Chain A
Amino acid sequence: MSETTDVSAQNKVKLVFAWAFVGIPLIWGVSQTLANAMQLFQ
């Protein structure tokens, strides 16, 4: 058995939502961290 390459449009939408669901908070956290870290080089 092998992975189906014909990933439907519905699956693509699911993928975008799933990655956005975890990615947006993570990017927000990273941006906050980097903003604080800038003080190290000021």
Chain B
Amino acid sequence: MTDSAGTQSAGGWFSRDNIIAKPGFSRWLVPPAALCVHLCIGQVYAFSVFNLPMTKLIGITESAPGDWKLTELGWIFSIAIVFLGISAAFTGTWLDRQGPRKAMFIAALCFGGGFLISALGVYVHQLWLIYLGYGVLGGCGLGIGYISPVKTLMTWFPDRPGMATGMAIMGFGGGAMIASPLSVWLMAQFSTPTHIGVAETFLTLGLIYLCFMMVGGTIVRVPPKGWEPEGYVPSTKPKKLVTDADVHVDTALKTPQFYLLWAILCLNVTAGIGVLGQASAMSQEMFPGKISVAAAAGFVGLLSLFNMLGRFFWASTSDYIGRRTTYMIFFLLGMALYAAVPWTGEVGSVALFVALYAVIISMYGGGFATIPAYLKDIFGIRYVGAIHGRLLTAWSAAGVFGPVLVNYIRQYQIDHGVAKADAYTITMYIMAGLLFLGFLCNLVMHSVHEKHHEKPEEARA
């Protein structure tokens, strides 16, 4: 293998040394490389399209004895999200050292391989193989793939780190919009009157995602040491919450700032994920007769679009107004909007309901996309990939808290005689309360003490 100077590279084709950009390389090639990965792993949000067909693999037209139940299938998504957090937390430091190409290839093998194992699981009708394949292996692919391009993008775009990571993480939001219709179309192609083509669809998707993600790994590059974009002048004016120093990942975990950011992400995601999962049912129950099942499906699709757009819009905006201010908007505006949602039901305005929800979900996506740049501001860029990996455990926690909160509160109210149309009122107020806690965490955020900064001799090690 040769490096950019045409000499032998010790680490081989995958090594960080081998992907140092040559002169003339455009940094705008890096966001599509990141999108190759994030558009694929974003499929996880569309996994539910397989749930119903997988309950009828034996019975074909309806569930038969021996067919899997929805409750059993629901675990596939949950396991994947848990392993997303675990893999991101445990591999972040190692992946940082290995570089983005190796990380993207490992993610491709895990995510694509997870689909292939799941295809086998469907073929032999063994659910544990799908838990292992898509849940464990695919979940590791999700976590590794999610964090792999983040630090690289911020290094290429020191002038606009929020926009850069926003572009990649936007792909994670947009992946479901591709995966959902593609999966439905593939299943239709492979299905016959006596067979549901889930295994063939898994096999096809696995191979497509494997190739697509590997293209990202092939084109990604890291900048040479000391590289800066032309005309970029780093700000000399000190900013209260932005540091030039680096904080080691192990030290970062000992600072209150890490836990404040963990809480900020967790609370923002808990509120968003809670209502996102209930969006379809909530829209139909708050507007009976006005929103049909088909219209509710369209509403959910519209939300995924705003989830995606919010990631790019809010992360890019944070480059200009600052990360803390951006989160202040999420929490303050979010509280007002969550509290106003029940009122849209009272006045019977579907348009207002959709508009409020769209802004809420854009801020949910924006929370994900802005957090890497917030971490960079607080802890510096050197260990941001590893710290981001640790922080994603907040997502796993929120993935459990959010749906549980919404489902149990709603059921409690219905059991106590509250009408279905009104059952979400308390839920929305509680979600607004969670955002208030997030607001407080963001309010007390301050810069890391200098004693935690990495010393120059440590930085050279």
Mark out the residues of chain B between 8 and 62 whose CB falls within 8 Å of any chain A CB in the assembled complex.
23-29, 32-33, 35-36, 39
Q: Which residue of A lies closest to B175 (CB)?
A: A29
The residues of A that contact B299 with a CB separation of less than 8 Å are: 37, 40
Q: Is the CB of A3 within 8 A of B229?
A: yes
Q: Is the CB of B294 within 8 A of A11?
A: no
Alpha-carbon separation in the docked complex, A37 to B232 (Å): 42
The residues of B that contact A22 with a CB separation of less than 8 Å are: 32, 35-36, 39, 171
Alpha-carbon separation in the docked complex, A19 to B39 (Å): 13
Q: Given the known A-B contacts A22-B39, A29-B174, A30-B174, are A37 and B301 also in contact in the complex, defined by CB atoms under 8 Å?
A: yes
Q: Which residue of B lies closest to A32 (CB)?
A: B181
Q: Given the known A-B contacts A21-B36, A29-B181, are A7 and B297 also in contact in the complex, defined by CB atoms under 8 Å?
A: no
Q: Is the CB of A33 within 8 A of B304?
A: yes
The residues of B that contact A30 with a CB separation of less than 8 Å are: 174, 177, 305
Q: Is the CB of A36 within 8 A of B301?
A: yes
| Chain-A contact segment, one of B138-146, B219-227, B410-418 | B219-227
Interface residues on A, range: 20 to 34
Q: Is the CB of A33 within 8 A of B301?
A: yes
Mark out the residues of chain B between 223 and 239 whose CB falls within 8 Å of any chain A CB in the assembled complex.
224, 226-232
The residues of A that contact B25 with a CB separation of less than 8 Å are: 4, 11
Alpha-carbon separation in the docked complex, A19 to B35 (Å): 9
Alpha-carbon separation in the docked complex, A30 to B33 (Å): 20
CB distance from A20 to the nearest CB of B (A): 9
B178 within 8 A of A: yes
* Cβ contacts A13-38/B at 8 Å (1 or 0 each): 01100110110011011101110111
Mark out the residues of chain B between 198 and 232 whose CB falls within 8 Å of any chain A CB in the assembled complex.
215, 219, 224, 226-232
Q: Is the CB of B354 within 8 A of A40?
A: yes
Q: Is the CB of A14 within 8 A of B29?
A: yes
**Which residue of A6, A18, A32, A40 contacts B291 across the interface (Cβ within 8 Å)?**
A40
